[in-house]
Structure 1
Amino acid sequence: MRTGLVTTPFGRRPMTLALVKGQLQSSDDRMKRPVEKWKVFRDISEARQLLGLHDRALAVLDALLTFHPKNEFAAGDRLVVFPSNAQLSVRAHGITGTTLRRHLAALVEAGLIHRRDSPNGKRYAHRGHGGQIEEAFGFDLQPLMLRAAELAGLAQQVAAEKIRFKRAKEALTLCRRDIRKLLTAAVEDGVQGDWQMMEELYASLIARLPRSLNRFIVESVLADLEVLRQEIVNRLEMQIKTENPDTNDIQNGCHIQNSDSESIYELEHGSEKELEAKSEPTKLKQHETPRTFPLSMVLRACPQMLDYASGGQIGNWRDFIGTAVLVRSMLGVSPSAYQQACEVMGQENAAVALACILERAGHINSAGGYLRDLTARAGRAEFSLGPMLMALMRANASEGLKRTG
């Protein structure tokens, strides 16, 4: 059994198993290569957030290190320093006594120093006849030597994270610039498409960026913006390839604007008995043009619609709306709830909302009630399909990575 390796704190300060573990680990007598103490301090400063330390704690540690006379920690050195609180306060740029004690405790809690308290709690040293220190009571700096490699690794981890964060912000800036200039070019060149809808979707994504950014938020928004950018590029590419304007109807993502198109209820065979007498199809007003999302984007977000499509394919919005009618019945959504959604959102967007509900069916108790809620919010201009579609595309992309990983 090893004895004399663990000391307990003086006074009311409690002893914990974590302190016992730290002292036992620091009592390792194996030879260590000399470690430059100020390099260790720089590593701690870099990794201070991972260690749970504030700037004031670093100032206190800096002051403690100045009481060790050498620039290196080496095996066999006495690494206990014993300055008074008054001396520490002066070297820590006048930090108050209460703050000093709090940050000393934080350094102990982080496992960077250990207390070697005397019987009366004072800090001092016993010296031999030649003046050499035989025993000292104060703060042991040995953990800094033993954890030097670990602390260097933490510093490198923080530095790498900073680089990743910087690269993510750069990519976000470039993606934002691309989208803005592509949208401007599309509008100025008169390219056919609902670019106002794209602009609104872009604005809704940018609104997700808070003032205080972190890498995870930036990468999340960036992933959605990259999907939007690719969709814009795809539509511009189609426009370039399509020289004859009469062929615009075959473009993937072209939306239906004819308010006299066949009613969704005419596509649902044998559903007349389900409809109430007052539930006549309501056509969109001539001055209202439904803003729909590109069909290719919707299908990437809601791939389960293809499972219910005739022949497993959806080539245009008519196919999509017809499939939505079947999905409505399967989900148990009443015809009246779907009719109301069509009146408020438009046929295409109501079908898209139903497709989104299908993707999340396992997490929704009542599909009909959920659709009515979305319809009410849309009527108050409190709901947009854009963020929902982006969230589904991001979720599908994550699932794809898991399957291939």
Structure 2
Amino acid sequence: MTFTKLSIKRSEAYQAIGEATSKTETDVWVIFRALRDSHTQFGLRPNHMQTLQAMLSFLKPGQGETVFASNFEICRRVGGIDERTLRRHIDRFLELGFMTRHDSPNRKRYRVRSSDGQCISYGLSLSPLIERANELMAMAQEVENRRRDCIFVRKQILTRLAQLEEFWPESTFPSEVRKTLRRKLSLAEYHALLTKAEAECDLMSTAVDAPKATYLSANDGQVDRHHSKSIKEDKDLERAEKPEVRTLTSICNQATAFATNTLRTWEDVEHHAQTLAPMMGIHASTFEKAKKAIGGQKASSAIFIMLQLGNRIRNFGAYFHSITLGRRVHQFNPSLLLERLANSERAHA
């Protein structure tokens, strides 16, 4: 198959393609590849493109854009398709305006010339295809841009799903999205999935109605006092965050009500919290990670406090991850939350 160059004037849009051809010549195979890459936009199938490729191979340099080969020869070059299929393909290209038919009186395809150099060509002219080079180039570039954007957004979705599967294994959202990704989606559909995935990640790492931070007034003379905090004070603060078992079980009566035995020690509390976690939609592996990250007492306190909050928490799994493994882990203070729960109950009493 030879590369045929046809003489047509290149427009500014096509010059931007940067092909290594002269300014007055266009490689017909560049145009063919542009149509091949965007053929679905015109309702064409791969076998249509095979037929067009065979027809283009009959063009010869300096002989114009008309195909003179017979249907029999075109069928042979395509690979042995039947003539009825070829006719259907030609009719489709005629409908799309990619070629025109110039029939001779006897339906044969040939060219005749006069003595002064004038000629008449009878056959299948591909000049409309050449004239639409700019349109096809722009269409092919648009398809390529869309393909790359789809891949980019799809990778972002897969990244979010991997995060959800690692830190929130009980969520069914990743498996549902992966089933959807098996289909070929449009760019808008990919963006919609990405928005949902980002919302799920935000839900995983954001708690509801977090207590407002208390800001203490301080002047310049108190700055040195702030900077002189000792390790002992930090340890005292850490101990203050861990409530007594009696305080936890008395205030969080919703969790205590599910216990079959009296909760006297932290070991009893942790064992009961481990039982309650799956009932609240918190995966066992997530609870174990939380115990390793912040300790068994704080992780168990989180289970008790969440159950006491009840309807104030929209998603127990996401809330638990947020205050034990997520971005709000340093804000979680069980003693402070228990104190506020106790005050709230006294206020409503």
**Residues 93-112 of structure 1 correspond to what in structure 2 (within 5 A)?**
93-112=79-98
Residue 137 of structure 1 aligns with which residue? 122
1:51 equivalenced with 2:51 (yes/no): no
1:126 aligns with 2:112: yes
Q: Give the secondary structure class of the aligned counterpart of 1:104.
A: helix
Deviations 1:319-377 (A, max 9, x none): 79xxxxxxxxxxxxxxxxxxxxxxxxxxx89xxxxxxxxxxxxxxxxxxxxxxxxxxxx
Cα distance, 1:213 vs. partner? 4.1
Letter in 1 for 2:141: Q
Question: Displacement of 1:259 after TM fit?
Answer: 11
Equivalent residue for 2:54? Answer: 63
Q: How does 1:54-93 map to 2 (within 5 A)?
A: 54-70=45-61, 78-93=64-79
Unaligned stretches of 5+ residues in structure 1: 1-29, 185-195, 247-255, 261-285, 293-315, 321-347, 350-405
How do 1:305-320 and structure 2 match up within 5 A? none
Q: Is the 8 A contact 2:9 2:25 kept in 1?
A: no
Equivalent residue runs for 1:261-300 within 5 Å: none
Structure ranking higher on relative contact order (CA contacts 8 Å, 6+ apart): 2
Match of 1:167 in 2: 152
Secondary structure of the structure 1 residue equivalent to 2:124: strand
Q: Is the 8 A contact 1:79 1:141 kept in 2?
A: yes
Deviation of the 1:223 alpha carbon = 1.5
Q: What's the CA shift for 1:83? A: 1.2
Counterparts of 2:54 and 2:34 in 1: how far apart (Å)? 16
**Structure 1 residues 232, 31: CA separation in 2 closer, same or farther (over 3 Å shift)?**
closer
Which residue among 187, 194, 197 is the counterpart of 1:215?
187
8 A Cα contact 1:125 1:133, kept in partner: no
Conservation of the 8 A alpha-carbon contact between 2:65 and 2:125: yes
- Tell me what 2:272 maps to: none
What is the 5 A alignment of 1:161-240? 161-183=146-168, 196=170, 199-235=171-207
- Matched-pair contact (CA < 8 Å) for 1:89–1:100: yes
C-alpha distance in 2, partners of 1:219/1:257? 42
Q: Secondary structure at the match of 1:35?
A: strand
One-letter amino acid matched to 1:112? F
Answer yes or no: is 1:34 the counterpart of 2:15.
Answer: no
User: Secondary structure of the equivalent of 2:172?
Assistant: helix
The answer as to whether partners of 2:94 and 2:100 remain within 8 angstroms in 1 is: yes
Whether the 8 Å CA contact 1:82–1:123 is kept in 2: the answer is: yes
Deviations 1:248-296 (A, max 9, x none): xxxxxxxx96699xxxxxxxxxxxxxxxxxxxxxxxxx9995669xxxx
Query: Distance in 2 between the 1:90 and 1:288 partners?
Result: 68
> Is the 8 Å Cα contact of residues 35 and 140 (structure 2) preserved in structure 1?
yes
Aligned CA RMSD, in angstroms, stands at 3.8
| 3-state secondary structure, aligned to 2:168 | helix
Offset of 1:109 from its aligned partner? 1.7
Measure, in 1, the Cα distance between the counterparts of 2:129 and 2:181.
Answer: 39
Preserved contact between residue 44 and residue 151 of structure 1 (Cα < 8 Å): yes
> Aligned with 1:126: secondary structure?
strand
Please state whether the residue corresponding to 1:151 is helix, strand or coil.
helix
Query: What's the CA shift for 1:122?
Result: 2.8
TM-fit CA distance, 1:129: 5.3
Q: Is the 8 A contact 2:112 2:119 kept in 1?
A: yes
SS in structure 1 opposite 2:163?
A: helix
Cα 1:159–1:258 change in 2 (3 A) is same
* 3-state secondary structure, aligned to 2:76: helix
- Which residue identity lines up with residue 190 of structure 2 in the other structure? V
1:151 CA displacement: 0.7
Q: Distance in 1 between matches of 2:32 and 2:129?
A: 9
TM-score by length of 2: 0.52
Paired amino acid for 2:166: K
Cα distance in 1, alignment partners of residues 112 and 184 from structure 2: 52
User: CA separation in 2, counterparts of 1:204 and 1:38?
Assistant: 43
SS of equivalent to 1:43: helix
Unaligned runs of at least 5 residues, structure 2: 1-7, 11-23, 214-236, 244-252, 258-275, 283-308, 316-349
AA partner of residue 109 (structure 2):
R
Cα distance in structure 2, aligned partners of 1:137 and 1:35: 23
**Contact persistence 1:257–1:289 (CA under 8 A):** no
Paired letter, 1:81: V
Partner of 2:293 in structure 1? none
Quote the sequence identity (%).
24
What is the CA–CA distance in structure 1 between the aligned matches of 2:45 and 2:165, rounded to whole Å? Answer: 41
Amino acid at match of 2:134: A
